[in-house]
């Protein structure tokens, strides 16, 4: 997991950006961060965009990382909807190496630790 580091204010930004949103400095450095996040909010989706019931509920959450500004909106997987809560610690589950492309979609989802 990589975050962009601002050369002026030192903030770590997730997802990495071209410029710091606080002082507009160009971000050139990526810093590896611990792959442990915290669920800050989430929703459980029971129907698709056409109103058809899904075979299994889908959980989408906003994941923050300690010491990092921002976070990621992603799937929360391998957990029942009733067991998800704000404050839940999660880790990324990566797709197999041969399917990775160097983007956020390389993460299949986040699962509870």
pLDDT in tens, 25-73: 999 999 999 999 999 999 999 999 999 999 999 999 999 999 999 999 9
What is the rounded CA–CA span in Å between residue 86 and residue 94? 22
Instruction: Evaluate if residue 79 carries a pLDDT over 90.
Output: yes
pLDDT band at 103 (very low <50, low <70, confident <90, very high): confident
Query: pTM, whole model, 2 decimals?
Result: 0.90
Residues 6+ apart with CB under 8 A from 83: 112
Instruction: Evaluate if residue 102 carries a pLDDT over 90.
Output: no
Closest CA to 59 of 35, 33, 86: 86
Residues 6+ apart with CB under 8 A from 113: 36, 89, 90, 91
Residue 95 has what DSSP assignment?
A: P
pLDDT band at 109 (very low <50, low <70, confident <90, very high): very high
């Amino acid at each position: 997991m990589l975050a962009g580091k601002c050369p002026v204010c030192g903030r770590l930004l997730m997802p990495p950006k071209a410029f710091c949103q606080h002082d507009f400095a160009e971000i050139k450095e990526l810093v590896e961060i611990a792959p442990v996040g915290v669920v800050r909010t989430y929703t459980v989706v029971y129907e698709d965009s056409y109103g058809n019931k899904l075979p299994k509920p889908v959980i989408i959450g906003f994941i923050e990382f300690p010491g990092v500004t921002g976070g990621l909106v992603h799937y929360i997987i391998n957990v029942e909807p009733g067991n998800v809560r704000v404050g839940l610690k999660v880790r990324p589950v990566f797709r197999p190496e041969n399917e990775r492309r160097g983007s956020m979609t390389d993460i299949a989802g986040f699962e509870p630790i």
